Amino acid sequence: MNLKSIGLVLGICFLAAACNKYRMQVTEDGLKYQFHEHNEEARKAKMGEIMSFHLVLKNSEDSTLRNTYEENMPVKLVLQEPPFKGSFEEGLAMLAVGDSATFYVSADTLFAKMMQPMPPMVKKGTDLSFTVKVLDIQTSEEFQKKQGEESAAQKGIDAKTIDKYIADNKLNEKIQRTDSGLAYVVESPGSGGTPKAGDVVKVHYTGKLLNGEVFDSSKGNPQTNGEPIDFRVGVGMVIPGWEEGIMSMKKGEKRMMIIPSGLAYGTEGNQGIPPNSVLLFDVELVDFSTPPPGSNQGMPGGMPPQ
């Protein structure tokens, strides 16, 4: 056999090995999977460690149910023991940093274990496909350290962003600031006292991005029929910027608050709110009261969670 023939044979062998490596496979617990990229030498997650990954979730008809690439918000998930045989978590435990794979999970089993009805876009007897690209794996200590470093850097970025917004909108003579980085303009003063931690406040609000795009408003919220929302302030039910801002307002006051991302939704963002977003809130403190001891009055409704 000449050298050319040997090279051809080796090439065919390598190709066959590669095809075999990335073929559809099934685990002992019945999880079907296919690697797209896989590095046996890279770091794998241990139970309790935090995995960051992009996810494309599709139904059996190849319709996309979720795409974190489009959301620009990778999933961050603590790796836990698989809740059932053939679960998505079993697949995650197989992956290392940089790996990419698709896992096929029984829709019937998944929704039964979640104790939720099958949604209309998912058919009984089919599989959901989870295509994952692992970006990072961290211990809780590593995660906290990185979050702290990113938060410190973002605080400086937010301050410059807020300064620019104030200058562009000629608010320098009206603006008031707090040590935390919160800035606000009192548009209509109130009277009387201010709420304290644990009080139930009744507020109208409109939340906007700095470009003016409205992402939420009590006045157009079907959950509250356009009425003000009620919640207990100072007990962690809402974002820190709201806690601080509202507890310095007087009854009847209207103010525009500029909230840095660290006092809002931070690096994670929220529905309709990109990560690291400085937010604008027009807030009116309609009323407030002190609930009786042991009362459940003031559970929030119609507002994005903290």
pLDDT at 58 over 50: yes
- The three-class DSSP label of residue 73 is coil
- Higher-confidence residue of 292 and 46: namely 46
pLDDT at 89 over 90: yes
Mean pLDDT of 4-22: 51
Check if the beta carbon of residue 185 is closer than 8 Å to that of residue 175.
Answer: yes
Q: Which residue from 205, 195, 183, 187 is spatially nearest to 253, judged by alpha carbons?
A: 187
pLDDT at 300 over 50: no
The structure's pTM equals: 0.63
- The three-class DSSP label of residue 154 is helix
Chain centre distance of CA 295:
31
pLDDT at 303 over 70: no
If you search the block for the tokens 């807020």, which residue do you land on?
A: 162
Of all residues in the chain, what percent carry a pLDDT higher than 90? 70
pLDDT at 109 over 90: yes
pLDDT at 1 over 90: no
> Confidence class of residue 296 from pLDDT cuts 50, 70 and 90?
low
Residues classed as catalytic: 205, 215-216, 239, 265, 281
Tens digits of residue pLDDT in 131-147? 999 999 999 999 989 88
Average per-residue pLDDT for the chain: 87
As separate numbers, helices (DSSP H) first and strands (DSSP E) second, the chain gives: 6, 14
Tens digits of residue pLDDT in 19-52? 556 789 999 999 999 999 999 899 999 999 999 9
Mean pLDDT of 236-264: 95
- Higher-confidence residue of 137 and 17: namely 137
